[in-house]
A and B are shown apart, each in its own frame.
Chain A
Amino acid sequence: MRTMGFRLRLALFFVATLVTVQLLTAGLVYEVTRRALVTEGERQLTANAQAFVAQMDDISARIGGNVEVLSLDYALRSAIAERDRGTVLSVLRNHGRRVGASRMLLIGLDGTVEADTAATSSTPQRFPFPDLIDDAYDRRTAAVVALDGKASWMVVVPIYAPQPVGLVVVNVPLDDVLLAHMQRLSALPRDIELATQSAPGRWDVVARGDRHTGLVDSLASAHRGLPWKPLLTEVDGKEYMVLAQRLKQPKQGAPVVAVLGYSLDDALSPFRSIAIAWATLLALGLGVGLLGAWFTARSVSRPVEALAAAVRRIGAGDYRTPAGTRRHDEIGQLAGAFDAMTEAVRQRELRIRHQAMHDSVTDLPNRLAAEASIDESLGGQAGGGALLMVGLTRAPEIIKTMGHALCDRLMRDASERIRRVAMDAFLARTSDTQFMLWLPRAGQDAAIAAGLRVLDALNEPYQETDVSIDRLPSVGIAMAPADGRQADTLLRHAEVAQFAAAGSASALSFYDAATDPHRPERLSLMGDLREALDRDGLLLHYQPKFDLASQRTDGAEALLRWNHPRRGWVAPDTFVGMAEETGNIHRVSRWVLASALAQVQRWIERGLALHIAVNLSTRDLEDAELPAWIAALLSIHRVPASCLTVEVTERAVIGEPDTAIRILRGLAEQGIGIAIDDFGVGQATFAYLRHLPVSELKIDQMFVRHLATDANDRIIVRSIVELSHQLGYRVTAEGVEDQGALDYLAAVGCDHAQGFFIARPMPAEAFATFVGGQAGQAAGGSRR
């Protein structure tokens, strides 16, 4: 047992209390009884002593009565009166036998012994106790006399005939036999001794009761005297109350006392059986008490232990109802309270678990729950499945514009719609803008069908009073196990596919590992990019822009290059796209702008009047502070605004029209040129461009590359150039790779040409050299 249990302690307490109380009671009872017995002993001894005296008096009365009857006998009277000694002696003997006397005497009035049944000689003697004779006429006279080590009871009776003529003395031996007789007839204690004083302080026992206790001897040795009041002493190792009682005696005789003992042990003996009964009762009571205590304790401790076990179960997350709830006592109340608490805890835990695993807006399972569910589904069988990631890409915009509440309602609506078409698929909300559908054991066809159903459902605009919102859904699909065997992998790949779909026309795409720009290494690449930005690890190459009219290079497009310390040259498409997604593009663009303008300043200082074109990302057009920042930069480097052209793609101006247009206007107002990059492949139309402060169009190299041979391209390019010029835009052709194209462009009046045929992008120093060298060539018109 680890520690003393409650049960054991309770039982032990009960038992200890019981035993203590019983022992105290026993001690108390013993002491009270003993005291009562001592008192009783004193009383009894005193009473017995008086009773003994009274008994002796009774004997006297009996003997006296007998003698008186004797004295009334006329013949005896006459015999005594006539001093007929022989007759008198025979009468005395006869009578002595009747009263149990050992000796009878006839005493004359003068005190001489006239007849003695025990006389051996006939010489007259005087009676040795004259005071007895004196008293005999007045009252019944009897006394104990000790003669020759024997005690006897002497009764003296006068004989009248009719006047006193003599006295009869009856001598009854006071011996063991008489004492035994008296004890039989009365309550005389068995411990009685008669003692006579043979010398001062010395007492000889002359008779004793039927128990030879040795009271007198013990007293003589222990107390050097006899107790005239009840005395508690020890005789032969036993406790006795002892009392000495003087007996009537003649003046001349030796003192005789009766010593009475009262044995406390004897007195206690009736209580011994009570004590045994009590001890038995105590043992029984102890047993029963122990048993009862044990049961009571168990009835208390069992439920408590059960409750403790129940609480431990609750602690371990098991909410089964604890035992003992049927009880109606305090334990039952406690158990009830535990039940209530358990239920409350269970409810709260369910709620917390629900909240942890569910989205609060749509009440759909969240990403964690989805992962768990998918992993469970994948772990169970090898059938695989399809994971559909449904993205509402406009959600952040909707939040910014309409607020969270509306967006939440919109999301709830979306979840309802998806649920309606999702059939038995597992639906979850994995992020603010994304839902997820898991189709176990589904193939690509089923996945596409589901994806299209979802797109159909979500393409319907969200309707609310005064508001109608297009959600622009996109669906990315990752197939298990082909695209991953684990939920997180599948989710990531489906998300990549969804991102890809968001940019594509069909709004639905499968994950393609080959084109996944979101490989894990990109995160480290971004880290490296930030480091490169901090340590000027990037550099700009400049591709000459060839002015077809003057046949000379009058500007350059700044192109970002990154010589990664370990990977070598990293393609701009790779890290720029990544920078856009990871939000680093702002820093990149600003670094490019700053570096390019600093370079222009250096060129200007060297007397090279060049203008510079810098590409801006779509994201840059969300940066409202950009115009002011560029203005500051221009003034720092003392570069005229007209020397700077920013290039943006068609998508940038179409995707974010309002903000983008505002920024572009801000830039245009400063005199900065605005060029539309890759013109011709996107959706930008001239009608649309009319709203923009565009100053230059750059024809996509798709149209330029085969210009020398393709008649259609020639028509398109010539049309663009002509239309642009008529609208006031300058035109630059990209991707010039041969003389024919260059010639055609010059022929149709294109303003600038750019391409490998003219020059590849080159470092700043090389570019300066290139421009310096070309200055000579230009004068000679070598290109033509």
Chain B
Amino acid sequence: MRCLLVVASLLLGNAWPVLAAEVTVHLDDGRGHAVSDAVVMLIPDAAPAAAAAPPAPATHVVDQRDETFVPYVQLLRPGDEVVFRNSDSTRHHVYSFAAIRTFEFVLRPGESSPALVMDKSGIAAVGCNIHDHMITYLFVSAVPAIALSGGDGNATIGHLAPGRYTAHVWHPQLHPGHPQPSQSVTIGGDADIGHLDFTLSLMPDPRMFMDREHLDY
């Protein structure tokens, strides 16, 4: 995943003018644990400047290893493709009832799904009908300033133009029905470095449970 991020940042870096200003967002769960796989978006309050040309569509691979989708959260740009690959020795029944795209495949071991084009912005929760604890999210967003927090709970968004932004955070384990956490941040100059801290109230990680029927919530 880190490798993919690096690839993404390289791609971004190549796409935008080099700006030194950046915002580092740190996320924790209120109990001192860093929160990874949180999506951080900085949306300027002012009308965005001229929209940069969307980058070329990319194909993302969501692997299935050890009855786990890897990664947990996959950022996509509208129009990007995603391929589900089964690296396990069992079948997986990959499905999604997401509003942006409904699909289902039964993947034999070693099999990969055909590439799915995710052309709508939104979030698609993808599960395995055979293994309840398998879940992954396809976060499809056109927001340019977007980043995924790493294992240290930090997400860094660079190349920001000065201005006021609102930082939005999404995470799969945020309570449904609760408002999304957000904060305002102002970038004063080109080299300004902003810091934001988010404390997220998260539900338990659904991937941790082997069998939800026997869980004790």
A162 at the interface (CB under 8 A from B): yes
By the criterion CB–CB under 8 Å, are B217 and A161 in contact? no
Given the known interface contacts A77-B97, A134-B175, A137-B176, the answer about A69 and B206 at a Cβ–Cβ threshold of 8 Å is no
Q: Whole-angstrom distance from the CB of B69 to the nearest CB of chain A?
A: 10
- Taking a contact as CB atoms closer than 8 A, the residue among B97, B128, B129, B217 that contacts A138 in the complex is B217
By the criterion CB–CB under 8 Å, are B175 and A162 in contact? no
- Taking a contact as CB atoms closer than 8 A, the residue among B126, B127, B177, B213 that contacts A69 in the complex is B213
By the criterion CB–CB under 8 Å, are A82 and B97 in contact? yes
**Complex Cα spacing A69 to B134, Å:** 17
Residues 59-82 of chain A, each 1 if its beta carbon lies under 8 Å from chain B, else 0 = 000000100110010100110011
**Complex Cα spacing A140 to B132, Å:** 18
Interface residues of A in 136-180 (CB under 8 A from B): 136-141, 160-165
By the criterion CB–CB under 8 Å, are B213 and A111 in contact? no
| Majority-rule SS of B interface residues | loop
By the criterion CB–CB under 8 Å, are A162 and B176 in contact? no
Q: Whole-angstrom distance from the CB of A482 to the nearest CB of chain B?
A: 145
Interface residues of A in 104-146 (CB under 8 A from B): 109-111, 133-134, 136-141
**Complex Cα spacing A161 to B132, Å:** 9
List chain B residues, Cβ under 8 A from A141. 217
**Complex Cα spacing A77 to B172, Å:** 19
Q: Whole-angstrom distance from the CB of B91 to the nearest CB of chain A?
A: 15
Residues 187-204 of chain B, each 1 if its beta carbon lies under 8 Å from chain A, else 0 = 000000000000000011
CB closest residue in chain B, given A79: B97
- Taking a contact as CB atoms closer than 8 A, the residue among B125, B177, B204 that contacts A162 in the complex is B125
Q: Whole-angstrom distance from the CB of A781 to the nearest CB of chain B?
A: 192
B212 at the interface (CB under 8 A from A): yes
Q: Whole-angstrom distance from the CB of B186 to the nearest CB of chain A?
A: 32
Q: Whole-angstrom distance from the CB of B105 to the nearest CB of chain A?
A: 14
Q: Whole-angstrom distance from the CB of B134 to the nearest CB of chain A?
A: 8
CB closest residue in chain A, given B172: A163
B118 at the interface (CB under 8 A from A): no
By the criterion CB–CB under 8 Å, are A68 and B213 in contact? yes
**Complex Cα spacing A69 to B213, Å:** 7
By the criterion CB–CB under 8 Å, are A78 and B177 in contact? no
By the criterion CB–CB under 8 Å, are A137 and B175 in contact? yes
By the criterion CB–CB under 8 Å, are A163 and B135 in contact? yes
Q: Whole-angstrom distance from the CB of B170 to the nearest CB of chain A?
A: 12
**Complex Cα spacing A111 to B176, Å:** 10
List chain A residues, Cβ under 8 A from B128. 162
CB closest residue in chain A, given B173: A137
Given the known interface contacts A81-B97, A137-B203, the answer about A110 and B177 at a Cβ–Cβ threshold of 8 Å is yes
Residues 61-96 of chain B, each 1 if its beta carbon lies under 8 Å from chain A, else 0 = 000000000000000000000000000000000010
CB closest residue in chain A, given B204: A138
**Complex Cα spacing A74 to B127, Å:** 11
Q: How many residues of B contact A (CB 8 A)?
A: 22
Q: How many residues of A contact B (CB 8 A)?
A: 26
By the criterion CB–CB under 8 Å, are A164 and B127 in contact? no
List chain B residues, Cβ under 8 A from A74. 95, 129
By the criterion CB–CB under 8 Å, are B206 and A160 in contact? yes
Q: Whole-angstrom distance from the CB of A664 to the nearest CB of chain B?
A: 161
Q: Whole-angstrom distance from the CB of B203 to the nearest CB of chain A?
A: 5
Interface residues of B in 121-161 (CB under 8 A from A): 125-129, 132, 134-135, 137
- Taking a contact as CB atoms closer than 8 A, the residue among A162, A164, A165 that contacts B126 in the complex is A162
**Complex Cα spacing A81 to B175, Å:** 18
Interface residues of B in 36-84 (CB under 8 A from A): none
List chain B residues, Cβ under 8 A from A65. 213
**Complex Cα spacing A78 to B172, Å:** 20
**Complex Cα spacing A111 to B127, Å:** 24
CB closest residue in chain A, given B203: A137
List chain A residues, Cβ under 8 A from B126. 162
Q: Whole-angstrom distance from the CB of B217 to the nearest CB of chain A?
A: 4
Residues 419-433 of chain A, each 1 if its beta carbon lies under 8 Å from chain B, else 0 = 000000000000000
Residues 10-43 of chain B, each 1 if its beta carbon lies under 8 Å from chain A, else 0 = 0000000000000000000000000000000000
Q: Whole-angstrom distance from the CB of B35 to the nearest CB of chain A?
A: 17
By the criterion CB–CB under 8 Å, are B213 and A162 in contact? no
List chain A residues, Cβ under 8 A from B212. 68, 160
List chain A residues, Cβ under 8 A from B95. 74
By the criterion CB–CB under 8 Å, are A139 and B217 in contact? yes
Interface residues of B in 154-183 (CB under 8 A from A): 172, 175-177
List chain B residues, Cβ under 8 A from A109. 176-177
CB closest residue in chain B, given A68: B213
By the criterion CB–CB under 8 Å, are A162 and B206 in contact? yes
List chain A residues, Cβ under 8 A from B132. 72, 160, 162
CB closest residue in chain B, given A71: B212
By the criterion CB–CB under 8 Å, are B216 and A162 in contact? no
**Complex Cα spacing A77 to B128, Å:** 12
Q: Whole-angstrom distance from the CB of A68 to the nearest CB of chain B?
A: 5
By the criterion CB–CB under 8 Å, are B177 and A111 in contact? yes
CB closest residue in chain B, given A107: B177
By the criterion CB–CB under 8 Å, are A133 and B177 in contact? yes
**Complex Cα spacing A679 to B19, Å:** 211
By the criterion CB–CB under 8 Å, are A162 and B203 in contact? no
Q: Whole-angstrom distance from the CB of B180 to the nearest CB of chain A?
A: 13
CB closest residue in chain A, given B136: A162
**Complex Cα spacing A111 to B137, Å:** 23
**Complex Cα spacing A443 to B217, Å:** 148
By the criterion CB–CB under 8 Å, are B216 and A139 in contact? yes
List chain B residues, Cβ under 8 A from A137. 175-176, 203-204, 217
CB closest residue in chain A, given B176: A109
List chain A residues, Cβ under 8 A from B175. 134, 137
Q: Whole-angstrom distance from the CB of B213 to the nearest CB of chain A?
A: 5
CB closest residue in chain B, given A80: B97
**Complex Cα spacing A137 to B212, Å:** 12
**Complex Cα spacing A72 to B212, Å:** 10
By the criterion CB–CB under 8 Å, are A165 and B97 in contact? yes
List chain A residues, Cβ under 8 A from B177. 109-111, 133
Q: Whole-angstrom distance from the CB of B26 to the nearest CB of chain A?
A: 24
List chain B residues, Cβ under 8 A from A133. 177
List chain B residues, Cβ under 8 A from A72. 132, 213
By the criterion CB–CB under 8 Å, are A162 and B127 in contact? yes
**Complex Cα spacing A134 to B174, Å:** 11
By the criterion CB–CB under 8 Å, are A78 and B97 in contact? yes
List chain A residues, Cβ under 8 A from B176. 109, 137, 163-164
Residues 398-418 of chain A, each 1 if its beta carbon lies under 8 Å from chain B, else 0 = 000000000000000000000
**Complex Cα spacing A34 to B196, Å:** 68
CB closest residue in chain A, given B135: A162
**Complex Cα spacing A599 to B59, Å:** 205
CB closest residue in chain B, given A110: B177
10 additional A-B residue pairs with CB within 8 Å, beyond A109-B177, A140-B216: A74-B95, A74-B129, A78-B97, A82-B97, A160-B206, A160-B212, A161-B97, A162-B126, A162-B135, A165-B97
The 18 sampled A-B contact pairs (Cβ below 8 Å) are A68-B213, A74-B95, A74-B129, A77-B97, A81-B97, A82-B97, A110-B177, A133-B177, A137-B203, A138-B217, A140-B217, A161-B97, A162-B125, A162-B128, A162-B206, A163-B127, A163-B137, A164-B176
3 closest Cβ pairs, A-B complex? A162-B127, A81-B97, A139-B217
